[in-house]
Amino acid sequence: MRSTPRRKALFRSFFLGGFECSTHRTTAGKRLDLVASTAHDRFAREDYQRLREQGIQAAREGIRWHLIEPNPGRYDFSSVLPLLRAAREMEIQVIWDLCHYGWPDDLDVLSAEFPRRFASLARAFTRLLREETDETPYISPVNEISFLAWAGGGVGVFPPFKQGCGEELKHQLVRAAIEGTEAVWSVSPHARIFHIDPICNVVGDPEKPDDCAAAAEYCQAQYHVWDMLCGRRNPELGGDPRYLDIVGVNYYVDNQWLYPGSLASDTTIDRTHPLYRPVWEMLCEAHERYGRPLFIAETGIEDELRPSWLRYICEEVQEALRAGVPVEGICLYPILNHPGWEDDRHCHNGLWDYADEAGERTIYEPLAQELQRQRKLFEQRVLPAK
């Protein structure tokens, strides 16, 4: 192991705040809008001020495509301009998700039109960024392609609610991400591109050799999207190494499980399980595979486990840094408590709670205290971005 020297950082702060921004339709047909349901659209400036008070100067946000393009080819950015201008005012650096699960109702995600429409959106939004700010655009084209392909085309619990076409959907989303990236660069050649997906560990029963082999193959599927984007897999999609700029990895408590696993069974491997894999090793593997800067793009947990989970993830990142992995930051996701997607339950998984009518939010002090403790440990490692 070797220590990582001080270096200039990608982000203005090592810790980021992730504002949940999903806009897909549920299985019941309800259109989600987490930016609105958390009142972040109303209190963006106050939320960014809260970030700054905690020493956080970078965030993940999402634009809401279904609001921006109510009619094909006609854009209304009034839903995102308040966030963009509040971030500029409060000097918060933002990674913008262009497609966080949702798209306009008139658009079939599996159609030939989808990548073209997405590229047009990406181009128009990047022009807006150029008009509103001098900062280098930080863009995440399509959030969690692997997960969305599985959820929407494999098991049918996300749009387009299909089964058996996970690979088709994955290829389509990769095409859209590539065309969207080119559209961004056509306006802003120096824009940084973030491709974000979960990392996982899937293992078989050691007493079942066939299961172990199948689990190992299944586990490798976590890399397929990144491989496609950089041209190592399915080269007909147009991938190239230049598209894989920044790798964002999402890690939650249920990202390790026993093969085959299912939505209806509890097969999660926890940290006490002998087959559990340390997260720092997974970060090392991702970096060794691609050699690109990476960051924890999402991590969090609910209720009273929030402080201990953050401590654990930070310890794993410290270990990865000691191993020479250029981990650029950790994004607390979500940063605000929000209603459950399917049942509207009050999810206590953020640093702050629901806003009152004046925009005030109660902070979860145990998590805030752990965040400040971790900030002190990490601040010596990186030079803040200018």
- Give residue 383's pLDDT: 47
Sign (positive/negative) of CA torsion 170, 255, 277, 313? positive
- Give residue 355's pLDDT: 98
Give the percent of the chain with pLDDT over 70. Answer: 96
- Give residue 264's pLDDT: 58
Per DSSP, 3 falls in state: P
- Give residue 381's pLDDT: 65
Q: State whether residue 140 is helix, strand or coil.
A: strand
Looking up tokens 């299912």 gives 262
Average pLDDT of the segment spanning 53-82: 98
- Global pTM value: 0.95
Q: Which amino acid is at 1?
A: M
DSSP string over 25-77? B-TT-PBP-HHHHTTTTTSHHHHHHHHHHTT--EEEEE--HHHH-SBTTB--G
pLDDT range class, residue 382, cuts 50, 70, 90: low
Average pLDDT, the chain: 95
pLDDT, tens only, 365-379: 999 999 999 999 998
- Give residue 152's pLDDT: 98
Q: Indicate if the pLDDT at residue 266 is higher than 90.
A: no
Q: Is residue 1 part of a domain?
A: no
- Give residue 209's pLDDT: 85
- Give residue 210's pLDDT: 86
Q: Is residue 288 part of a domain?
A: yes
Residues of the domain holding 140? 7-383
Residue 206 is part of a domain; what is its CATH number?
3.20.20.80
pLDDT range class, residue 9, cuts 50, 70, 90: confident
- Give residue 168's pLDDT: 98
pLDDT, tens only, 318-340: 999 999 999 999 999 999 999 99
Q: Indicate if the pLDDT at residue 4 is higher than 90.
A: no
Give the percent of the chain with pLDDT over 90. Answer: 92
Q: State whether residue 347 is helix, strand or coil.
A: strand
Q: Is residue 308 part of a domain?
A: yes
CA distances from 117 to 128, 153, 241, 373 (A): 17, 20, 24, 45
- Give residue 113's pLDDT: 98
Q: Is residue 2 part of a domain?
A: no
First to last CA, the chain: 30
pLDDT range class, residue 354, cuts 50, 70, 90: very high
pLDDT, tens only, 112-169: 999 999 999 999 999 999 999 999 999 999 999 999 999 999 999 999 999 999 999 9
More confident site: 210 or 311: 311
Give the alpha-carbon dihedral of 228, 231, 233, 234, to 10 degrees.
90
- Number of domains within the chain: 1
pLDDT range class, residue 5, cuts 50, 70, 90: very low
C-beta of residue 176 within 8 angstroms of C-beta of residue 232: no
CA distances from 198 to 75, 117, 232, 254, 332 (A): 31, 26, 19, 11, 15
- Give residue 385's pLDDT: 54
